[in-house]
Each structure stands twice: as C-alpha cells, then as structure tokens.
Amino acid sequence: MTDAPVAVLTQCGDYVGPALARVLAASGHRLLLHAASDELVTELRASGATAVATAGDLTSAAGNHALVSEALERYGRIDAACFATGVIVTARFLDTTPAEWDFLKRTCLDMVFHGLQAVLPPMADAGYGNVIVFTSATGRRGEPRAAGYSSVRAGANMLVEMAADQVAGRGVCVNAIGTNHMDFPGLIKALGLEDPARRAKLEAQVPLQRLGTMSELAEFAAVLLDGRSRFQTGQFFSYSGGWSN
C-alpha cells in the first residue's frame, strides 16, 4: 500500500525497538529501522510488513539527516519518528569523569538535538507528524547515583518541549517518554540486577512493585505515534511504575 503511513525508529537492536516495530507493523506502517537485526527485519517481512534496516551515527547531524533523507527517498513521507537515545552511566556528581560527561552529552543530548532538527522540518512542511523521544524518568526525579545522566536527561526533556512549541501550529506533535525501572539488558547490567536479591530490592522501591516490560511500553508509545491521540505535544510522560510523576 503506497499510502500506508511511514515510521522511522532508531536504536532498534534492543530496548523497545523490536517490540515497537512489531506493534507498528501490525497497524500497517512501513518501517525504516535503524540498527535493527537481520532477524527482526526477516520476521517483520514474513508477517507481510514493509521493513528496511539502515545504519549510521546518530550522535551527529549528518547521520540524522542521512536517516531522514533515506526515509523520504524510499517512502516519500514520514508520518512518525521515534528516537531512542542515551546510555546509562552510573556515578555520583563528583565521581563523574570528563570522559563520561562528554559521552553522556553525545548520547543523551546530541542525539535528541540532531534527531529533532533533521525530522521536524519535513514533517512541518507536510503539515503532519508524530515524534517521540525516549529520555528517562531520572530527568524528572534525579537519581544521585546517576547524577550526570539525570542532568542531561532533564536537558533532553526541555529540548523536546522547545522543539514542540515551534512546530505545534504546523500539525506536528512532539513528546518525550521518560522511562525507569524497565526490564531490559541495559538496566539489568547497569544496576547489577542479575542478582535476584538486588532486583527484589529495586522492585520494592517501585510503587507497582515490579519492572516494566518492553511490550507494554511499545503499546503506550504506539498511541503517541500512530495518530490515534494527537491532542498533546511538548509533554513529558513518566513511564516508571509510579516512581516519578
């Protein structure tokens, strides 16, 4: 279907990327998937979806513009874009090294800035678009054990708000979803949750008493991407089991 909506998803090798790609494929989206595995693309195509993998450095302006240009050249439009950004670095403020700080800025701020600057102009020109940036709930409720990470995530949330304000009148919705306490390898490794006792201790700090799953996060994100709900923009949605609100 040449008129089917188009979604661009980044960092599809892990985190919510595979689950979100499956949800959007099921709703008829044609997909450009950054950093997706061959297995995921094969699975989606076998289900009847149009899915193409791509690669590139998304900490750079050039990499993000190349991603957007590829989607436009291949499909002629972009209806939805989801930018998964950031890498967890755990360290208190005085223990954060300059190298770690530079890394956090590249992955948590530069990726947001360059991604939004690349995708918003063509969406605004088309008069339609839905964008999600995945940040972190620590950008709302700081985590002292991840001081630098919390700080750049707060900055990313403000970038989303400012970008949304500029394109709201042109039919484009831009929102952030800030997660924490999600069951995925990055968090498990960063916090040592392979230890059952340590995991139980963390889950006890979450009002819902468990970690969130990628499948339920994908369903939540899809509502903001597929056009079902477009009366919100410039918002930060905390997805952390009640830990941050």
Q: What is the CATH number of domain 6-182+214-238?
A: 3.40.50.720
**DSSP state string for the chain:** -TTS-EEEE--TTSTTHHHHHHHHHHTT-EEEEET--HHHHHHHHHTT--EEEE---TTSHHHHHHHHHHHHHHHS--SEEEEE------B-GGG--HHHHHHHIIIIIIHHHHHHHHHHHHHHHHT-EEEEEEEEGGGTS--TTBHHHHHHHHHHHHHHHHHHHHHGGGTEEEEEEEE-SB-SHHHHHHTTTTSHHHHHHHHTTSTTSS-B-HHHHHHHHHHHHSSS--S--S-EEEESTTS--
pTM of the model as a whole: 0.95
In this predicted structure, what is the pLDDT of residue 186?
Answer: 80
Instruction: Look at residue 190 in the predicted model and tell me its pLDDT.
Output: 77
Which residues does 41 contact at the CB level (< 8 Å), separation at least 6? 33, 51, 52, 53
Neighbouring C-beta atoms of residue 166, cutoff 10 Å: 14
Tokens 């530079």 correspond to 102
Give pLDDT tens digits along the chain (245 positions): 468 999 999 999 999 999 999 999 999 999 999 999 999 999 999 999 999 999 999 999 999 999 999 999 999 999 999 999 999 899 999 999 999 999 999 999 999 999 999 999 999 999 999 999 999 999 999 999 999 999 999 999 999 999 999 999 999 999 999 999 999 888 788 788 999 999 999 999 999 999 999 999 999 999 999 999 999 999 999 999 999 97
